Amino acid sequence: MNTEGKKGTTTLGIVCKEGVVMAAEKRATKGHMIAHKNTKKLFQIGDNLGMAIAGLVADGQLLNRYMSSEVELYQLKRHKEISVKAAATLLSNMLIGRRMMPYFVGLLLGGVDSEGGHIYGLDLAGGAISDDYVSEGSGSPFVYGVLEDHYHKDMTVEEGVDLAVLSLMVSSSRDSASGDGINVATITKEGYKELTEEDIEEKMSKIKEEKGLKYP
């Protein structure tokens, strides 16, 4: 994440049997300088929805506020939760509406509705694509390498959390714009829940021990 509009970040989303897992690391950069080491890139935008941002910090935070407000208004007007597809379409329309002065972001939107779990990747031009797993940012090539090898459709949420942590540890060990900790959230029929730092540290320690993986 940086002020030059480049996506110096790693975010990911995984669809599991009981819901979805979303994760992001915490480093923010300005060019080659590490600007912040505890940057929030993963947000709850509804009872059943989450969003992860890569790219320009201000644009990502603004879109988070817009989406949180729109999702709340939808629930107040219609007395039901917005579907993940409808939320992705709404976010896509926001991005399309700014083509002359685009938001310099790559976004992930995920959640659970009556049709199950869904993850969407959205680019700065408003393109929205749903898949079993999606990653954004400069560390995403390393994440895709891990996900391609380990992901399966019958994965439990707990397995998805372990895979998300492993993927971000790998990307942070190779991508200089990623690192300084991990945020992970699960979204199921019970709602949105972020893992504690203690839970994440425990999983990271287990991965380090089992795989001998170093984490910067």
pLDDT in tens, 148-187: 999 999 999 999 999 999 999 999 988 877 888 899 999 9
Taking the C-alpha atoms of residue 163 and residue 145, their distance in angstroms, rounded to an integer, is: 12
User: Domain containing 119 — which CATH number?
Assistant: 3.60.20.10
Taking the C-alpha atoms of residue 208 and residue 74, their distance in angstroms, rounded to an integer, is: 43
More confident residue, 36 or 188: 188
H or E stretch covering 197: helix 197-211
Give the pLDDT confidence score for residue 216 in this predicted structure.
Answer: 59
Domain ranges, residue 34: 11-211
**pLDDT(98) > 70:** yes
State the total domains in the chain: 1
Task: Give the pTM.
Answer: 0.91
pLDDT in tens, 106-138: 999 999 999 999 999 999 889 999 999 999 999
Q: Is residue 92 part of a domain?
A: yes
Longest Cα pair distance anywhere in the chain, in angstroms?
Answer: 52
Q: Is residue 5 part of a domain?
A: no
Q: Is residue 1 part of a domain?
A: no
Give the pLDDT confidence score for residue 53 in this predicted structure.
Answer: 94
**pLDDT(70) > 80:** yes
Q: Is residue 216 part of a domain?
A: no
Answer whether 133's CB lies under 8 Å from 145's CB.
no
Torsion angle defined by CA atoms of residues 91, 93, 99 and 105, in that order, rounded to the nearest 10 degrees: 10
Active site residues: 9
